[in-house]
C-alpha cells in the first residue's frame, strides 16, 4: 500500500473540510455552503477567453481545475453534492464524465447547461456562497461572508496529508523541469528556449504552471519578476536565475535556482554561500518560530555573505539598521503556499480576522505568522545588484557601507535567489523540494 496515495487520503481530506465547513456555517449563521467552480472570463469586446482559473475553494474539495459552472454544496450531516457541468458542445472538448478517487465519496449530478444547477441548489436565503461575482447564477450571488472566509482561509494554512501528497507530486514535476532548464542554459539556449525546455519537461504549458516562469540570464536576474523571455541568448551567458513551478491537482510548487556558467567563478561561490545559508533558514521552519524573525535573521545572514565577499564594508547589523540590506535583499523571505502560490492567510491574526503587521521597513514580506505544524511556506532568500536601489543607498548617505568596485564585479550576474518549499511539522521541518531534485 502506498501511504501517500491520494485515493486513500481523500476520505480524511473530505472529513476535515466538512468539519471546517460546519464551523464556517455556524459562524456565519447559514445552513449550506455553496462553492461555484467559476465561469470563464472574456477579453473586453472580444469572444476570446482568458485561461480559466478555478475557485481555490472548489479545488480544495475536488481535484478538478478545468470544470466551469459547476458547484460544490455542503450541508452539515449530508454527503457533499457536486453539480458537474458536462455541456453538449461540439466546439470544445467537454469535461470527461466524473471520474477519479473523489467520485464515490460525493453525490454527483451531471448537468448539461449552467442553469440546470438552479433546480439542485438549496434555498438561497440559507446559503453562504463563496466565489467571485461573475459566478452568480440567478439569485445565487456569491456573498462571501467574512466570518466564513476568515475561518476557512485561516484553517487552509494547515495542510492535510492528502494535500501534502499532491504538493509532493508538483515538486517532482517542477524539479525534473528545473534540471532540463539547467541543461538548456549550459547548452547556450535563449531565455525563450529555456522556458520551452522547462515546459516540455514539466509537461505543462504556460497556462498550466502556477505562475509565469521567471527565466533570467545575466543582468535580468536583477529584475525580481522578470518575465520577458528574450528570443536570442547573450553571446557568452554568465548566469541563470530560474523561478518556476508546477501544478498538480491545483496545488503549486514554487522553486528558484541560480547557476553560474563558470562553476569556478566567484559568482558561483556566492551562489553556494546563499544556498548553504538558505538551507540553514529552512532548518528554522519549526513550530513556534515567528516567520518575521526568520525574515530578519535572513537579512543578517545574507549581509554576512556580502561582507565575506567584500561587497559590504559594515556589519550585517549596521546594514540592517540603515536599510542598506534591503537594497540587496528587497523582498520577503517567503510566503505560505498551497492551492495558490501566494496562499491565503499569511497575515491572519486569528480565525476570526485581524492582521499581524509586517515588521517596520519590510513592506514586501507576505508571511507574519508564527509557524505551526502543517503549514507549508517558501524560503527564498536572495541577493541582487539592482542599480535603482543601490542609487538610493548613495542618496541616503550610506555609500561608504559598500565597496562599489565589488558591486561592479557582480553586477553583470544580476542576482541570486534560492527557493524551496518547506513543511513545518511537530518536529524537524521537511523540505519538500530538495528530495524532489534528488530523485
Residues at the contact surface with Mn ion, assessed by CB under 5 A: 243, 254, 256, 378, 419
Could you say which of ligand GLY, Mn ion, none residue 155 binds, taking C-beta under 5 to 8 angstroms by partner kind? Answer: none
Torsion from C-alpha of 294, 300, 302, 308, nearest 10 degrees? -150
Going by the DSSP 8-state scheme, the letter that residue 229 receives in this structure is -
CA–CA separation, 323 and 361 (whole Å): 8
Q: Cβ of residue 258: shortest distance to ligand GLY, in angstroms?
A: 13
Helices (H) and strands (E) in the chain, counts: 12, 13
Binding mask 299-338 for ligand GLY (x = CB under 6 A): ------------------------------------x---
Decide whether 219 or 256 has the Cβ nearer to Mn ion.
256
Cα(222)–Cα(262) distance, integer angstroms: 19
Q: Which does 218 bind (CB under 5 to 8 A by kind): Mn ion, ligand GLY, none?
A: none
Residue 51 phi/psi, 5° resolution?
Answer: -55, 135
Q: What's the closest the beta carbon of residue 386 comes to Mn ion, in angstroms?
A: 17
Residue 211's binding partner, choosing from Mn ion, ligand GLY, none, with beta-carbon cut-off 5 to 8 A by kind? ligand GLY
Among ligand GLY, Mn ion, none, what does residue 150 contact (CB within 5–8 Å per kind)? none
* Burial status of residue 208 (CB atoms within 10 A of its CB: 0-12, 13-18, 19 or more): middle
70 binds, among Mn ion, ligand GLY, none (CB under 5 to 8 A by kind): none
Q: Considering beta carbons, is residue 219 or 256 the nearer one to ligand GLY?
A: 256
* Smaller CB separation from Mn ion, 72 or 377: 377
Distance CA 383, CA 140 (A): 49
Q: Which is nearer to Mn ion, 69 or 243 (CB)?
A: 243
Distance of alpha carbon 51 from the chain centroid: 18
Query: Judged by CB, which is closer to Mn ion: 218, or 243?
Result: 243
Site membership for ligand GLY, residue 211 (CB under 6 A): yes
Cα-flanking dihedrals φ and ψ of residue 400, to 5°? Answer: -70, -10
Residue 380 in contact with ligand GLY, rule: CB under 6 A? yes
By a kind-dependent CB cut-off of 5 to 8 A, residue 163 interacts, out of ligand GLY, Mn ion, none, with none
Cβ neighbour number for residue 245 with a 10 Å cutoff: 27
Nearer to Mn ion by C-beta: 148 or 242?
242
What would the grid cell of residue 436 be? 524532489
421 is a site residue for ligand GLY (CB under 6 A): no
Q: Which residue is listed with cell 555609500?
A: 399
Instruction: Name the residue nearer to ligand GLY (CB basis): 243 or 351.
Output: 243
Angle at 106 (CA atoms; ends 373, 146), nearest 5 degrees:
55
* Shortest reach from residue 60's CB to ligand GLY, in Å: 21
Question: Helix or strand or coil: residue 64?
Answer: coil
> Should residue 420 be labelled a site residue for ligand GLY when binding is judged by CB under 6 A?
no
Instruction: Give the shortest CB-31-to-ligand GLY separation in angstroms.
Output: 38
Q: How far is the CB of 252 from ligand GLY (least distance, A)?
A: 9
User: Nearest CA to 329 among 359, 362, 358, 294?
Assistant: 362
Task: Name residues whose C-beta falls within 8 Å of residue 26's C-beta, 6 or more positions apart in sequence.
Answer: none
The correct pick among 254, 343, 420, 421 for binding ligand GLY (CB under 6 A) is: 254
Contact with ligand GLY (CB under 6 A): which of 69, 243, 343, 420?
243
Give min distance, CB of 335 to ligand GLY, in A. Answer: 6
Q: Return d(Cα 153, Cα 222) in angstroms, integer.
A: 33
What are the start-end ranges of the H helices in 210-290? 266-282
Q: How many of the chain's residues bind ligand GLY (CB under 6 A)? A: 7
Q: How far apart are CA 115 and CA 156, in angstroms?
A: 30
Instruction: Give min distance, CB of 100 to Mn ion, in A.
Output: 29
> Looking at beta carbons only, is 227 or 315 nearer to ligand GLY?
227
Q: How many CB atoms lie within 10 A of CB 428?
A: 10
Alpha carbon of 393 to those of 329, 362, 396: distances in Å? 13, 16, 5
Q: Which of 213, 199, 247, 204 is nearest to 59 (CA)?
A: 247
Nearer of residues 229 and 314 to ligand GLY, judged by Cβ = 229
The smaller minimum CB distance to Mn ion, of residues 343 and 419, is found at: 419
Q: Which residue is nearest to ligand GLY (CB)?
A: 243
The residues binding ligand GLY (CB under 6 A) are: 211, 243, 254, 335, 341, 380, 419
Amino acid at each position: 500500500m502506498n501511504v501517500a496515495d491520494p485515493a486513500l487520503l481523500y476520505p480524511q481530506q473530505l472529513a476535515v473540510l466538512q468539519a471546517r465547513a460546519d464551523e464556517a456555517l455556524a459562524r456565519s449563521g447559514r445552513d449550506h455552503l455553496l462553492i461555484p467552480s467559476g465561469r470563464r472570463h472574456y477579453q473586453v469586446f472580444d469572444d476570446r477567453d482568458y485561461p480559466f482559473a478555478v475557485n481555490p475553494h472548489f479545488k480544495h474539495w475536488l481535484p478538478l481545475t478545468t470544470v466551469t459552472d459547476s458547484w460544490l454544496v455542503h450541508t452539515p450531516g449530508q454527503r457533499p453534492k457536486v453539480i458537474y457541468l458536462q455541456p453538449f458542445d461540439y466546439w470544445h472538448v467537454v469535461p470527461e464524465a466524473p471520474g477519479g478517487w473523489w467520485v464515490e465519496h460525493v453525490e454527483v449530478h451531471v448537468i448539461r447547461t449552467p442553469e440546470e444547477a438552479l433546480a439542485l441548489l438549496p434555498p438561497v436565503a440559507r446559503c453562504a456562497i463563496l466565489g467571485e461575482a461573475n459566478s452568480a447564477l440567478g439569485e445565487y450571488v456569491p456573498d462571501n461572508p467574512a466570518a466564513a472566509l476568515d475561518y476557512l482561509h485561516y484553517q487552509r494554512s494547515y495542510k492535510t496529508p492528502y494535500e501534502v501528497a499532491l504538493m509532493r507530486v508538483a515538486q517532482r514535476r517542477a524539479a525534473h523541469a528545473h534540471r532540463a532548464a539547467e541543461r538548456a542554459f549550459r547548452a547556450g539556449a535563449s531565455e525563450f528556449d529555456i522556458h520551452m525546455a522547462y515546459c516540455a519537461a514539466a509537461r505543462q504549458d504556460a497556462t498550466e504552471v502556477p505562475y509565469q516562469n521567471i527565466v533570467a540570464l545575466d543582468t535580468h536576474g536583477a529584475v525580481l519578476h522578470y518575465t520577458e523571455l528574450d528570443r536570442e541568448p547573450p553571446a557568452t551567458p554568465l548566469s541563470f536565475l530560474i523561478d518556476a513551478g508546477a501544478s498538480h491537482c491545483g496545488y503549486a510548487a514554487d522553486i528558484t535556482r541560480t547557476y553560474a556558467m563558470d562553476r569556478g567563478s566567484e559568482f558561483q561561490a556566492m551562489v553556494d554561500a546563499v544556498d548553504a545559508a538558505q538551507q540553514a533558514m529552512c532548518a528554522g521552519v519549526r513550530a513556534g518560530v515567528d516567520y518575521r524573525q526568520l525574515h530578519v535573521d535572513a537579512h543578517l545572514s545574507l549581509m554576512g555573505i556580502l561582507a565575506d565577499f567584500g561587497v559590504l564594508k559594515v556589519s550585517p547589523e549596521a546594514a540592517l539598521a540603515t536599510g542598506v540590506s534591503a537594497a540587496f535583499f528587497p523582498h520577503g523571505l517567503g510566503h505560505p503556499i498551497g492551492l495558490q502560490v501566494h496562499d491565503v492567510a499569511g497575515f491572519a491574526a486569528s480565525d476570526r480576522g485581524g492582521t499581524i503587521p509586517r515588521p517596520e521597513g519590510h513592506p514586501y514580506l507576505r508571511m507574519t505568522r508564527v509557524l505551526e505544524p502543517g503549514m507549508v511556506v517558501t524560503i527564498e532568500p536572495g541577493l541582487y545588484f539592482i542599480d535603482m536601489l543601490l542609487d538610493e543607498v548613495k542618496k541616503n548617505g550610506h555609500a561608504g557601507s559598500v565597496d562599489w568596485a565589488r558591486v561592479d564585479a557582480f553586477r553583470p550576474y544580476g542576482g541570486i535567489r534560492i527557493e524551496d518549499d518547506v513543511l513545518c511539522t511537530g518536529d524537524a521541518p521537511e523540505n519538500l523540494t530538495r528530495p524532489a531534485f534528488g530523485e
